[in-house]
Structure 1
Amino acid sequence: MPTSQTLPSPLRAPSLALLLAEPLRAMLDAFGSHVTAHPESVGDGHPVIVYPGLGAGSMNTSQLRNFLRHAGFQANDWGGGVNIGHEGEFDEWLDGLAANVREVQDRHDGRKVSLIGWSLGGIFAREIAKREPDAVRTVITLATPFSALGDSTHAGALYKMLNGDAGQLAPAVEARLRESPPVPTTSIFSKSDGIVNWRGCIEKRSRRTESVEVDASHLGMVNHPDVLRIVANRLAQPEGRWKPLKRAERLRPSAWL
């Protein structure tokens, strides 16, 4: 498995065939979660914030948040409405998101907050964890290409339409995005992703990072039954005793919950 330090350059966006199949596959992923994903109470009640992908909002992540609530976690929407990318200077804009994490922590008696980010939302989650490591318990990203932005995704045109040139990041900032957060971090990716190149979602290997493969669409990953179960499994680990998901566990759905 390549790491973000050995990725071939440049990476190309997924094929047109995968891109065109995204809407139908997303519908099937969502349907599958309703039929096969039944949450069990595995959580310890700690707070979680979910960040939507580009062009998505609270409605798009509601199924994930409901699943996590039934699994025993205090799942919260990010509160930013539709994600159109950052507004103004990137680091100043992140200050507001970081402040929200501290507010959620305060409302839950100082308990650390887990952050889940889908696609672009995962970039925000990772950067907040770097700013507020004492407030963040773990980070989970879903189809987030932190190691390869720009031409390696089909999201660029939508990003420009929503945010214009103001949303462009400086090369130094893009280099920073590749660095792993200083907290346990899971990157969930799919080789059949039709929006982003999966190789850009691979974490550097360390004692607190992992990359977990699923077979899901990009648009449907936030609702995919396997993803829901894996996310709950990762969140259910006792604080301070994080361990990577074992390969055998990935092959046995009954072990996820």
Structure 2
Amino acid sequence: MSSRETLFEYPKAAFAETELARRIALAAEDYPEQEKGKPHLLRLLGELDLLIEPARRVVRRLDIPQAKRPQTIILMPGFATGPTRMRYMARNLEKAGHRTKRWGLGRNWGVAADSLTRLEQRLDEICTRYDAPVALVGWSLGGLYARELAKRRPECISRVITMGSPFSGSPRANNVWRVYQAIAGHRVDQVPIDANVSVKPPVETIALWSPSDGAIAPRSAAGLPGERDRAIALRCTHAGFTYSPEAILTVLAELDRAQSN
């Protein structure tokens, strides 16, 4: 390697080492008071249920009711996942007669400064194409995006359904905030957008939560009365919000309930 190549390679390596050290430090931070209410680590082991879910689908047959009035739905994935994780739910919503759309941002690697702007553009595109408001169904971090998007563009959104989304209380009342900070590169309470996730959007907002959630504190996902319109308890893991029959049928029921009001 020439001296010129070495000159340019060294700063890159130094930067990489510095950035890695910064992210490790973010993951190692200690906020015991802010973690109160998070699920016991044994609950987190329950999330391994995800591994046997594909085998269940071979024999499972869901009795999917037909939608009273089909609508367009944007599905928003959770942290570190993408549209593929939402595909099983999408297929069953489509089986009921709804039209599902991807959120358009690929894999969800955390809150980024331009994310909501890109989501607004995606929302405008879909609303214009079908000339009607859409419903947002967001899992975990995807639900937080859904709530904030509904505050920006309520005229384009009919309702928001969150699934295990930590919009209430401490953003560290969960078992994943350290991983989030290491990957996203910022603190969970210092995201790079102007947002107050506990404030209810000006559209109908339904929060699905579970006492069996191994990742997110149930209270954070259920919220307080003024932070959502309704909270519905399910019996599924955190990952199970995307594939459990109870979650899928509840989402379908809530979409129809909202339509009939």
Give the TM-score normalised by the residue count of structure 2. Answer: 0.79
Query: Unpaired runs of 5+ in structure 1?
Result: 1-7, 243-257
- State whether structure 2 residue 171 is matched by structure 1 residue 146: no
* 2:74–2:103 Cα contact (<8 Å) kept: yes
Q: Note the aligned Cα RMSD (angstroms).
A: 2.7
Deviations 1:152-193 (A, max 9, x none): 11121221232112775259956x210111111110000111
- Please tell me whether residue 115 in structure 1 is matched to residue 140 in structure 2: no
Q: Secondary structure at the match of 2:154?
A: coil
Quote the Cα distance in structure 2 between the aligned partners of 1:14 and 1:75. 32
In 1: Cα distance, 2:40 partner to 2:146 partner: 28
Deviation string, structure 1 residues 8-49 (Cα, Å, up to 9, x no partner): 976332111111221126635982796252212215232100
TM-score w.r.t. length of structure 1: 0.80
Matched, 1:78 2:123: no
The answer for the alignment partner of 1:228 in structure 2 is 248
Distance 1:26 1:215 in 2: 18
Measure how far apart 1:206 and its partner are: 5.8
- The answer for the alignment partner of 1:248 in structure 2 is none
More helix by percentage: 2
- 1:143 positional shift: 0.4
Greater relative contact order: 1 or 2 (C-alpha under 8 angstroms, separation 6 or more)?
A: 1
Of 124, 131, 148, the match for 1:127: 148
Q: Structure 2 residue aligned with 1:18, among 40, 43, 47?
A: 43
Q: Deviations over 1:77-109 (max 9, x none)?
A: 11211110122x3xx43121122112111111x
Structure 2's unaligned 5+ residue stretches are: 1-32
1:63 to 55, 78, 88: 88
Moved over 6 A (4+): none
Query: What percentage of residue pairs aligned between the two structures are identical?
Result: 27
Structure with the greater alpha carbon radius of gyration: 2
- What residue in structure 2 maps to residue 204 of structure 1? 224
Between the aligned partners of 1:213 and 1:29, the Cα distance in structure 2 is 24
The change in CA–CA distance for 1:152 and 1:47 in structure 2 (over 3 A counts) is same
Provide the residue aligned with 1:155 in structure 2. 176
